[in-house]
Amino acid sequence: MCSVLPPPLTRALPDLGRWTAHFLAAPIPVLADTAEVLETLRANEDAVDAHLLAESIGTDPLMTLKLMAHVAGARSPRCTTDPETVTAALVLLGIAPFFRAFGLQPTVDAHLSGQPAALQGLQGVVDRAHRASTFALAFAVHRMDHDAPVIHAAALLHDFAEMLLWLHAPTLALRIAEQQRADPTLRSAAVQRSLLNIELPELQHALMRAWHLPELLVQISDQRQAENSQVRNVLLAVRVARHSAAGWDNAALADDVRDIAALLNLGEAPTLRLLHEIDA
């Protein structure tokens, strides 16, 4: 990932190839708390192990994305291990090489300095990602899915293309948000296609392929495979996180509870109680 900062996009690029190339060349700033804790750990590197480092950065979707892409790109062709989680990626990379590869990190606050609306929009997506990943992990544990950590990562990264849009094309991201606020019935795909010439899920899939992210992570993140129980696990977690973002009185939550109940093989009342317990 290049460290040269391209100018923010104010007009849509013409096609998926151009969008993909643009974001592949764009640096990815991280959350301010992540940047701070990395510097604290760097000062005492000998006492840091993969689990401690993973706990420190694994809730930051942007840092998670940077790490997974870096490890995938640096992996030897002879290596048959496909690290599917932050911890596995750090074990494969090593602590000292990690700190050499990732110096003082740029932050989203500095990147969007002077653009409070864009910063607020990005923070909303990050907050939703945190809640979605918590729901997804809880669903996976309930289902006794042995890939629960990967499902957690997939939910955390589910909307990373939207995060990149807020970072590198905030004007366009704000237009999308304004149109959807003005007409909540507008489908996200239609608004994105109209204003960006692409849909964000297809951009996200293209970026994951270009960065050679782990196959299982790519598969679980592919909403076109919604018949797969692991993909449904993630999609339902993202849905309920989105619909409950402003409280639990959204009318759409009734359908979410019904579908989650089917996934977990629970009644609807126990499912709703479980959701409130997870979110407490």
Give dist(CA 247, CA 259) in Å, integer.
Answer: 19
Mean pLDDT of 13-31: 96
Show me where the domains of the chain are located. 17-108, 109-279
Predicted pLDDT of residue 216 = 87
Give dist(CA 130, CA 7) in Å, integer.
Answer: 29
> Does residue 73 carry a pLDDT above 90?
no
* DSSP character string of 105-141: PPBHHHHTTT-HHHHHHHHHHHHHHHHHHHHHHHHHH
Mean pLDDT of 20-45: 96
Predicted pLDDT of residue 77 = 64
Which two structure tokens, joined as six digits, stand for 23?
């974001």
Predicted pLDDT of residue 1 = 46
- Residue 30, classed as helix, strand or coil, is strand
| Residue scoring higher pLDDT (123 or 218) | 123
> Does residue 4 carry a pLDDT above 60?
no
CATH topology of domain 109-279: Hypothetical protein af1432 (1.10.3210)
- Residue 244, classed as helix, strand or coil, is coil
Mean pLDDT of 125-140: 97
Predicted pLDDT of residue 79 = 63
Residue 252: phi and psi, rounded to 5, are -70, -15
Quote the percentage of the chain above a pLDDT of 70. 96
Give dist(CA 82, CA 86) in Å, integer.
Answer: 12
Give dist(CA 76, CA 58) in Å, integer.
Answer: 24
How would residue 2 be classed by pLDDT, with cut points 50, 70 and 90?
Answer: very low
Give dist(CA 277, CA 255) in Å, integer.
Answer: 19
- Entry pTM: 0.92
The rounded mean pLDDT for the chain is: 93
Mean pLDDT of 270-276: 97
**Could you tell me if 40 and 97 are in contact, meaning their C-beta atoms sit under 8 angstroms apart?**
no
Residue 106: phi and psi, rounded to 5, are -65, 150
pLDDT of 77-110, one tens digit each? 666 667 889 999 999 999 999 999 999 999 999 9
Residues 6+ apart with CB under 8 A from 149: 84, 85, 87, 137
Residue 241's nearest CA partner among 232, 229, 253 is 253
